[in-house]
């Protein structure tokens, strides 16, 4: 069973967010990285880019497939994980830690309530 961490919110598209200092750290879940296989390339979102919930704002490419990244909330990209440019495999190794993708300054906290809790996400991937 893939790892699901408490205290995070999850999208049905297999992305997670963690609230930190009024911003969200964003990445893809352990389930997603297992399904993708070895990740070979990440197209990161652009810093200062304005995004709307549901917007496609990046790409993860693996040996099996290419998968779009969708914003779970509306806001602004404040930071991206530059380490992924030289080492996209960090997502496979540590999807909830060193393999994070972006920091999003969100606009509407109520959008977080539309995301799944850890328990709801576990049921979603069963």
Q: Which residues of the chain have pLDDT under 50?
A: none
* Residue 36 counted as domain residue: yes
* Residue 67 counted as domain residue: yes
The number of angstroms, rounded, from the C-alpha of 9 to the middle of its chain's C-alpha atoms is 10
Please give the pLDDT value at position 1.
Answer: 83
| Predicted confidence (pLDDT) per residue in 63-74, tens digit | 999 999 999 999
Counting Cβ atoms within 10 Å, is residue 2 exposed (0-12), middle (13-18) or buried (19+)? middle
**For 45-123, where are the E strands, in sequence order?**
50-51, 56-62, 66-70, 75-80, 102-106
Question: Whole-prediction pTM value?
Answer: 0.95
Domain encompassing residue 59: 9-104
Query: In this structure, what CATH number is given to the domain that contains residue 77?
Result: 2.40.50.100
* Residue 109 counted as domain residue: no
* Residue 79 counted as domain residue: yes
Split into its structural domains, the chain has a count of 1
* Residue 114 counted as domain residue: no
* Residue 50 counted as domain residue: yes
Cα 3 to Cα 113: distance, rounded to the nearest angstrom: 22
* Residue 112 counted as domain residue: no
* Residue 115 counted as domain residue: no
């Amino acid at each position: 069973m893939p790892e699901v961490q408490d205290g995070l919110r999850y999208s049905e598209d297999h992305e997670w967010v963690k609230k930190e200092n009024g911003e969200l750290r964003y990445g893809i879940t352990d389930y997603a990285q297992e399904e993708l296989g070895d990740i070979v390339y990440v197209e990161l979102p652009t810093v200062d880019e304005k995004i709307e919930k549901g917007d496609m704002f990046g790409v993860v490419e693996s040996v099996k497939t290419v998968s779009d990244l969708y914003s779970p909330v509306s806001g602004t990209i404040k930071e991206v994980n530059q380490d992924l440019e030289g080492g996209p495999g960090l997502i496979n190794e540590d999807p909830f830690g060193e393999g994070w993708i972006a920091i999003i300054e969100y606009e509407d906290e109520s959008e977080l309530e539309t995301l799944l809790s850890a328990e709801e996400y576990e049921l979603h991937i069963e």
